[in-house]
């Protein structure tokens, strides 16, 4: 970031005049034109400035030389302004001399000043410049050398000194580069000025040291402007006024003090100063010095508009001022000051706050007021029929709210509508609904919790098989909120109120598990079938001799089983008979259509379920 410093050989102890010469190299787009100066340096109208003894006129150094800082012209607020950028020649010498004479006032003291910055990023040869102001005969009127400018500090610095013109008043500028070129000695130059240096002048308003006075528009006031001048007794004076662009002499005001009357003052900034010079030079503005500026600000009255929200009872009352800046003072309906904020917030509005509130806005010493009527609105008489309701899973229940004209329920999940007073709610799980009840101005928030009772679920388990006289356990399960259960029929069960009763039916039975909701939800049922097989009667012998009696090995009740598998082996374990349709094809004592020998044979009967196979022996007789 660029900074600005000032260095001079002799400070003007008096007052300075306006810059009578101001060389800022102009402004525009791209590169600037070659200045009308005497120099042996090479002007570069475009491209880089890498050659020793090159110079250019540009807005910034960006892209001109890789070893330089990125520097912008010095002239304040002149973003399109130019500066002179110099890559010094190998040998010391003059790089700037004005080609045309500069006309100043004769026998007058001036301050010469110029702004310079060292461009080099790294260590190298430091710029060292001598300024010389010469008269028309090349006689030096004043000189000043900068000395070596430090590297690594991209700060614009102003160098200046005083000189006095001769009787002719015509001068020229010469700048000499005292250091050699090569690795360094690169600089930028801008804003070369001459200003007359005159007697010391102090000034004030209304016999004070104040330099500013504020008035309000339409004011009528006489203001005394005064100046103390230390110097020659022959000086001539002239008060001047600037209303925005140029300084204009005030007719007849030629004394160190002046009374100036504002009548029905118009808004604006009025600047006053005293111009001073010797009588012989007074007619030329180039010869004058001026006092510090005195300023009268005629300010417009603020035009405040007090506004407020329309708070509901218990909410915040918010006051505000529109269309006016400055300082603020708020007063309540009883005239008490309550705030100096632009937008005060009064917490927890009550009906006692109703009334007219006043704000006084002061800007530039000018005050105006505005008032606003504040009202406090009653909230709706919001109600819900019940803050807690219950519903069975999969069912719906009506929610009921009242007291407003506008209703908004959240969340909307599971509701038949979210913007009515009595939506039907069928959430999948327990949900707390919030309803915003509005009367068009104020809102109230209430909640209804809908408890979802899980519906009963019954599972009677797998079907079972037993042999008559046996038993099995029914594997029932039940779920749901607050349920009870029982089995039907109860016959053959050790306890029909258990989930896992022992079943010992004497015949095949379809048992039903009933799961009942104690909350009034639907009853769930499921069934388990217990198949009861007859007990088999297996003969220990038979005599297949063709006499018509006991010729077949008949197994009583085997037909009650579904495809039982009967296998018969001889004493060597050889399979001689097997069927799954035994009650239709009982064994007749043959193997491959031939009678088997008398003896003991072995059987294995699989009943087709998970029960253990039956095994034993049978004796075949003839």
pLDDT digits (tens, 9 = 90+) for 49-70: 999 999 999 999 999 998 999 9
pLDDT band at 10 (very low <50, low <70, confident <90, very high): low
Residue 558, φ and ψ in degrees, nearest 5: -65, -20
DSSP helix/strand/coil, 560: helix
All structural domains of the chain: 4-197 (2.60.120.260), 200-299 (2.60.40.10), 305-374 (2.60.40.10), 383-453 (2.60.40.10), 457-533 (2.60.40.10), 541-620 (2.60.40)
Tell whether the model's pLDDT for residue 7 goes beyond 80.
no
Structure tokens at 120: 């080099």
- Tell me the two tokens of residue 99: 């080609």
pLDDT tens digits, residue range 75-105?
999 989 999 999 998 888 999 999 999 989 8
* Apex 183 CA angle, 181 and 186, nearest 5: 60
Q: What is the DSSP string of 190-227?
A: EEEEEEEE--EEEEEETTSS--EEEEETT--EEEEEEE
Full DSSP string of 248-310: EEPTT--SSEEEEEESSPPSEEEEEEEEEE-TTTTT-GGG-EEPPPEEEEEEPPP--EEEE--
Residue with the two structure tokens 């908004």: 408
Residue 551 pLDDT exceeds 90: yes
Tens of pLDDT, residue by residue over 467-524, are 888 899 999 999 999 999 999 999 999 999 999 999 999 999 999 999 999 999 999 9
Of 157-166, 334-343, 414-423, give the lowest mean pLDDT range: 157-166
Give the CA-trace dihedral at 224, 227, 233, 238, to 10 degrees: -70
Q: DSSP letters of 379-413?
A: PP--EES-SEEEEETT--EE--EES-SEEEEE--T
pLDDT digits (tens, 9 = 90+) for 284-333: 877 889 999 999 999 999 999 999 999 999 999 999 999 899 999 999 99
DSSP letter, residue 564: -
The answer to whether the pTM exceeds 0.75 is no
State the first-to-last Cα distance of the chain, in angstroms, to the nearest integer. 129
Lowest-confidence range among 5-9, 90-94, 234-238, 362-366? 5-9
What percent of the chain stands above pLDDT 70? 98
| Residue 597 in this model has a pLDDT that exceeds 90 | yes
Structure-token pair, residue 286: 């180039």
Residue pLDDT, tens place only, 552-596: 999 998 888 888 999 999 999 999 999 999 989 999 999 999 999
Q: Could you give the C-alpha distances from 240 to 53, 252, 258, 274, 290, in angstroms and in order?
A: 47, 11, 11, 6, 9
User: What phi and psi, each to the nearest 5 degrees, are found at residue 464?
Assistant: -125, 160
Sort strands 221-230 and 257-262 into parallel, antiparallel or unpaired. antiparallel
Examine the pLDDT at 1 and tell me if it is beyond 60: no
Q: How confident is the model at residue 280 (pLDDT cuts 50, 70, 90)?
A: confident
Average pLDDT value for residue range 39-55: 93
The residues, ordered by sequence, that sit 6+ positions from 597 with a Cβ below 8 Å of its Cβ are 620
Cα–Cα distances in Å, from 585 out to 120, 467, 554, 608?
120, 23, 9, 17
**pLDDT score for 183:** 78
Count the Cβ atoms, other than its own, within 10 Å of residue 578. Answer: 13
Residue 5 binned pLDDT confidence (cut-offs 50, 70, 90): very low
Judge whether 143 and 182 are in contact, CB under 8 Å. no
From the CB of residue 15, how many other CB atoms can be counted at a distance below 10 Å?
A: 27
Q: Return phi, psi of residue 353, to 5°.
A: -85, -5
The answer to whether the CB of 319 falls within 8 A of the CB of 372 is yes
Residue 4: its pLDDT value, please? 44
Q: State residue 351 phi and psi, 5-degree precision.
A: -65, -20
* Mean pLDDT, the chain, whole residue set: 92
365-402 confidence digits (pLDDT tens): 999 999 999 999 999 999 999 999 999 999 999 999 99
- Residue 436 phi, psi (nearest 5): -95, 115
Whether residue 8 has pLDDT greater than 60? no
- The token pair at 41 is 């340096």
Q: Distance (Å, rounded) from C-alpha 116 to C-alpha 179?
A: 15
Q: Is the pLDDT of residue 442 over 80?
A: yes
Question: 3-class SS at 132?
Answer: strand
Q: What is the pLDDT of residue 161?
A: 92
pLDDT score at 2: 41
Band the pLDDT of 3: cuts 50, 70, 90: very low
Q: What is the pLDDT of residues 236-251, one digit of tens each?
A: 999 999 998 899 999 9
Distance CA(504)–CA(473), nearest Å, equals 9
Confidence of residue 6 (pLDDT cuts 50, 70, 90): very low
Q: What DSSP state is assigned to residue 15? A: -
User: Would you say residue 151 has pLDDT above 90?
Assistant: no
Count of Cβ atoms closer than 10 Å to residue 181 Cβ:
21
Rounded-to-integer distance, Cα 3 and Cα 250, Å? 38
What element of type H or E holds 358?
Answer: strand 355-363
Range with lowest mean pLDDT among 161-170, 187-196, 522-531: 161-170
Is residue 609 very low, low, confident or very high in pLDDT (cuts 50, 70, 90)?
Answer: low
Tokens describing residue 98: 């004005």
């Amino acid at each position: 970031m660029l900074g600005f410093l000032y260095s001079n050989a002799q400070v003007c102890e008096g007052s300075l005049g306006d810059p009578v010469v101001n060389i800022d190299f102009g402004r525009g787009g791209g590169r600037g034109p070659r200045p009308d100066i005497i120099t042996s340096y090479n002007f570069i109208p475009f491209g880089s400035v890498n050659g020793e003894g090159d110079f250019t006129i540009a807005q910034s150094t960006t892209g001109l030389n890789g070893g330089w800082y990125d520097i912008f012209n010095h002239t304040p607020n002149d973003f399109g302004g130019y500066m002179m950028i110099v890559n010094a020649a190998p040998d010391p010498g003059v790089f700037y001399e004005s080609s045309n004479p500069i006309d100043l006032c004769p026998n007058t003291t001036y301050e010469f000043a110029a702004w310079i910055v060292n461009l080099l990023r790294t260590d190298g040869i430091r710029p060292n410049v001598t300024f010389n102001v010469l008269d028309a005969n090349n006689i030096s009127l004043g000189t000043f050398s900068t000395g070596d400018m430090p590297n690594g500090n991209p700060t614009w610095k102003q160098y200046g000194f005083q000189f006095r013109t001769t009787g002719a008043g015509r001068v020229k500028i010469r700048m000499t580069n005292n250091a050699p070129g090569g690795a360094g000695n690169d600089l930028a130059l801008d804003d070369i000025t001459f200003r007359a240096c005159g007697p010391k002048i102090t000034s004030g308003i209304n016999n004070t040291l104040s330099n500013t006075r504020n008035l309000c528009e339409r004011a009528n006031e006489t203001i005394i402007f005064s100046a103390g001048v230390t110097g020659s007794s022959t000086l001539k004076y002239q008060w001047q006024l600037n209303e925005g662009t140029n300084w204009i002499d005030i007719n007849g005001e030629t004394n160190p003090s002046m009374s100036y009357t504002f009548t029905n003052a118009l808004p604006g900034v009025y600047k006053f100063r005293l111009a001073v010079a010797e009588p012989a030079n007074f007619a030329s503005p180039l010869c004058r010095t001026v006092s510090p500026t005195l300023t009268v600000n005629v300010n417009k009255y603020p035009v405040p508009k007090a506004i407020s929200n329309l708070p509901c009872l218990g909410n915040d009352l918010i006051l505000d001022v529109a269309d006016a800046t400055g300082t603020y003072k708020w007063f309540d309906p009883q005239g008490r000051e309550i705030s100096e904020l632009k937008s005060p917030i009064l917490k927890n509005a009550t009906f006692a706050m109703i009334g007219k509130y006043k704000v006084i806005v002061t800007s530039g010493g000018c005050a105006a007021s505005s008032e606003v009527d504040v009202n406090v609105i009653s909230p709706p008489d919001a109600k819900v029929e019940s803050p807690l309701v219950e519903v069975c899973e999969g069912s719906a229940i009506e929610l009921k709210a009242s007291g407003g004209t506008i209703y908004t329920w959240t969340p909307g999940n599971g509701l038949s509508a979210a913007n009515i007073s009595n939506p039907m709610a069928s959430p999948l799980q327990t949900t707390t609904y919030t309803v915003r009840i509005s009367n068009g101005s104020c809102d109230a928030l209430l909640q209804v919790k809908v408890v979802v009772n899980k519906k009963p679920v019954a599972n009677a388990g797998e079907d079972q098989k037993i042999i008559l006289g046996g038993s099995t356990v029914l594997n029932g399960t039940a779920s749901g909120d607050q349920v009870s259960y029982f089995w039907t029929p109860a016959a053959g069960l050790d306890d029909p109120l258990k989930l896992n009763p022992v079943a010992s039916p004497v015949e095949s039975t379809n048992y039903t598990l009933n799961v009942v909701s104690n909350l009034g939800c639907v009853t769930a049922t499921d069934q388990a079938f217990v198949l009861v097989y007859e007990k088999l009667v297996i003969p220990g012998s038979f005599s297949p001799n063709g006499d018509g009696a006991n010729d077949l090995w008949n197994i009583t009740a085997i037909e009650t089983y579904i495809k039982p598998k009967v296998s018969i082996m001889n004493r060597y374990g050889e399979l001689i008979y097997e069927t799954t349709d035994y009650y239709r094809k009982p064994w007749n004592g043959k193997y491959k259509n031939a009678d088997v020998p008398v003896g003991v044979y072995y059987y294995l009967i699989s009943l087709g379920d998970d029960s253990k196979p039956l095994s034993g022996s049978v004796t075949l007789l003839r």
